[in-house]
Amino acid sequence: MTESQTTDSRATEPDRAIGRILAAEEARAATVSRFGDRRAEALHDDETSTADLDGEQLDREERAALRRVPGLSTELDDVTEVEYRQLRLENVVLIGVYNRDADEAENSLRELAALAETAGAVVLDGLLQRRPHPDPSTYFGRGKVQELADIVTALGADTVIADTELAPSQRRALEDQVKVKVIDRTAVILDIFSQHAKSREGKAQVELAQLEYLLPRLRGWGESMSRQAGGQVGSGGAGMGSRGPGETKIELDRRRIHDRMAKLRRQIKGFAPAREAKRANRDRFEVPSVAIAGYTNAGKSSLLNRLTQAGVLVQNQLFATLDPTVRRSSTPDGREFTLADTVGFVRSLPTQLVEAFRSTLEEVGSSDVIVHVVDGAHPDPGAQLATVRDVIGEVGARDLPEIVVFNKADLVDDDRRLVLRGLEPDAIFVSARTGEGIDELRERIAERLPQWDVELDLLVPYDRGDVVALAHQKARVLETEYEEDGTRIKLLATDRIARMIRSALGS
């Protein structure tokens, strides 16, 4: 291992890597912009308010430990944990292609840096190439691929991550020329999800998404790596993008993978009845539901904690929350509602994940109100808003009442507030950290919660016992009379329930 010396210092002192990068500056061509030293700026404020962590503290430590030493006992019995971690921690170079908007591309690459670090890698550099379109065969143009290969060698990087979803053939061609492992944004996000999934349902969902991603990429995944005998990939050859089902199960043939996927789908379906039962229970006791949705790291869990003292894991990490937490809360005038924390969204959220997490996301779709949290201090809040609304639309929740909340107001100055107001005139500014705006948010939620103010007077034909049953189940029946043509029912309902009953009756 000729690399071990440099790898060691980098693993323990990422700062020195930055020095090295700066020193290598001259080697760069002018059309390639770099900002490896400003990485992870998208994640401001590393302070984790420990007061918020209480019962979840252990979970957080566990997660941090798991992050870098996966599968220790089964793969490498003869090295110490420390050596193993140094071997495994990946040193990555990020690459992206853009056409017009350099700022946007830079934000996206910075977010990719945050994602890579969350997955456990050290980011050494980031390179953007301006091009009308990514090269269909190698993503970067031919000349730049060579330049990239030189940079990778100079920095001693062992992985390149492209800020896109690469076609299987692009990935292979790039790998052949750059001589280190190449993965894409989708693989990194899948990797984070697989590290963070905790519940059985979450694990099944992530594995399904990973298999779906891997299936068209099976041929050649390990192949090109084994051709690089003596390359810089750690002896396991694994790491980001190949953890989870990627490593051992990759040898299964397609059919067995298809079988496995079918089984996972059945399993995930099997979780639905429990969720529906909970939902039905909430309906019966007339408890309205509020879902907190928003971009990853916007502060959804912090806000839930602030509103309910829930003690949910808060971390300056992307996708800290994968398993939705539901807590009870109440309005200032004493009405109860449930408040659900949800999985964060990210730009180009892999479609495989949206599919696999559809059941979880549909929880958002079946709530009464959505609190849409946006990080007010993020460089591009408009893009966050749009991304989240896209996903909300995809699960059919576009028409639900939405309260837009700019969080982290403690980091937002007056000028910026004006800009944010321009984006969303009705939004509320809050800070989960200082408590600013929280009372206003409670009031706004109370206003938007469904009111039991719709009165219906229905004549239900005698052959429609189902509608009578529905009325008794979901609404407050005030009067029942048996007339010649059917049952006359007077009832009180919320808007949503009234619509449900009317459409069941076909009126």
Ligand X SMILES: Nc1nc2c(ncn2[C@@H]2O[C@H](COP(=O)(O)OP(=O)(O)OP(=O)(O)O)[C@@H](O)[C@H]2O)c(=O)[nH]1
Per the annotation, binding residues are 294-301, 319-323, 341-344, 407-410, 431-433
Residue 23 beta carbon to Mg ion: minimum distance, rounded to whole angstroms? 38
Residue 358 beta carbon to Mg ion: minimum distance, rounded to whole angstroms? 19
Q: From the list 299, 311, 437, 450, which residue makes contact with ligand X (rule: CB under 6 A)?
A: 299
Q: From the list 45, 276, 447, 481, which residue makes contact with ligand X (rule: CB under 6 A)?
A: 45
How many of the other CB atoms lie within 10 Å of CB of 426? 9
186 binds ligand X (CB under 6 A): no
Return the DSSP state at 363: H
Sign of the alpha-carbon dihedral angle for 168, 174, 180, 183: negative
List the one residue out of 8, 359, 2 whose CA is nearest residue 199: 359
197 binds Mg ion (CB under 5 A): no
List the one residue out of 295, 378, 287, 398 whose CA is nearest residue 339: 287
21 binds Mg ion (CB under 5 A): no
Q: How far apart are CA 147 and CA 174, in angstroms?
A: 12
- Residue range at the interface with Mg ion (CB under 5 A); choices 117-125, 131-139, 255-263, 296-304: 296-304
Q: How far apart are CA 482 and CA 462, in angstroms?
A: 9
Cβ 290 vs Cβ 371: under 8 Å = yes
Q: From the list 91, 129, 301, 487, which residue makes contact with Mg ion (rule: CB under 5 A)?
A: 301
Main-chain dihedrals φ then ψ at residue 180, nearest 5 degrees: -130, 170
**What is the rounded (10 degree) CA torsion for 432, 436, 440, 442?**
30
Cβ 67 vs Cβ 195: under 8 Å = yes
192 binds Mg ion (CB under 5 A): no
- Residue 464 identity (one-letter amino acid): R
How many of the other CB atoms lie within 10 Å of CB of 35? 16
**Which residue, 107 or 302, is less far from ligand X as judged by CB?**
302
Tokens standing for residue 430? 């809050």
- Residue 260 identity (one-letter amino acid): R
SS3 state at 374:
strand
- Residue range at the interface with Mg ion (CB under 5 A); choices 114-122, 155-163, 221-229, 300-308: 300-308
Tokens standing for residue 318? 């992307």
320 binds ligand X (CB under 6 A): yes
> Does an H or E element contain 128, and which?
strand 122-130
Q: From the list 314, 371, 385, 467, which residue makes contact with ligand X (rule: CB under 6 A)?
A: 314
372 binds ligand X (CB under 6 A): no
SS3 state at 218:
coil
371 binds Mg ion (CB under 5 A): no
Show the binding pattern over residues 379-408: x = contacts ligand X (CB under 6 A), - = does not. Answer: ----------------------------xx
- Residue range at the interface with ligand X (CB under 6 A); choices 90-98, 171-179, 289-297, 474-482: 289-297
54 binds ligand X (CB under 6 A): no
49 binds ligand X (CB under 6 A): yes
Q: From the list 197, 320, 409, 475, which residue makes contact with Mg ion (rule: CB under 5 A)?
A: 320
301 binds ligand X (CB under 6 A): yes
Cβ 410 vs Cβ 443: under 8 Å = no
**Residue 413 contacts by C-beta under 8 Å, 6 or more apart in sequence?**
none
Show the binding pattern over residues 426-465: x = contacts ligand X (CB under 6 A), - = does not. Answer: -----xxx--------------------------------
152 binds ligand X (CB under 6 A): no
Residues 325-344 that bind ligand X (CB under 6 A): 344
Q: Secondary structure of the chain: what % helix, strand, coil (to 5)?
A: 50, 15, 35
321 binds Mg ion (CB under 5 A): yes
**Which residue, 160 or 192, is less far from ligand X as judged by CB?**
192
410 binds ligand X (CB under 6 A): yes
Which positions touch ligand X (CB under 6 A)? 45, 48-49, 294, 296-302, 314-321, 344, 407-408, 410-411, 431-433
Which positions touch Mg ion (CB under 5 A)? 301, 320-321
